[in-house]
Amino acid sequence: MQRLRGGRYEVTIKQIALSQQMLHEGCPVQVVDECPPLAYSGLVDPELVQELQKVWVRLEEKARGASGELKLHCR
């Protein structure tokens, strides 16, 4: 979660991953003002994002295998 002029807004891991992917694939926009999602790319280390996504997929598979559902509850 990031602060914006005294308020808060949420940035998901999916948004960060997409931003990192755009840069990796050679997004021609280099100025954040032209493409605000590019600012998300530096919020979390790319390797950490990939690792988290892999772990989440494994956890979802385990939960489905037990006829369950994986939920993340944050405070």
Please report whether residue 75 resides in a domain.
no
Residues 6 or more apart in contact with residue 59 via CB below 8 angstroms = 70
Give CA–CA dist 7/51, Å, rounded: 30
Please report whether residue 74 resides in a domain.
no
Can you give the pLDDT at residue 73?
72
Angle between helix 13-24 and helix 46-65 axes, rounded to 10 deg = 130
Please report whether residue 29 resides in a domain.
yes
Please report whether residue 70 resides in a domain.
no
pLDDT-derived band at 23, boundaries 50, 70, 90: confident
Total domains present in the chain: 1
Listed in order, strand segments (DSSP E) in 30-72 are none
Please report whether residue 9 resides in a domain.
yes
Tell me the residue range of the domain where 61 lies.
2-65
Please report whether residue 43 resides in a domain.
yes
Please report whether residue 34 resides in a domain.
yes
Q: What is the mean predicted confidence (pLDDT) over 39-58?
A: 90
The two three-digit tokens of residue 48, written as one number: 């950490």
Identify residue 55 by its one-letter amino acid code. Answer: V
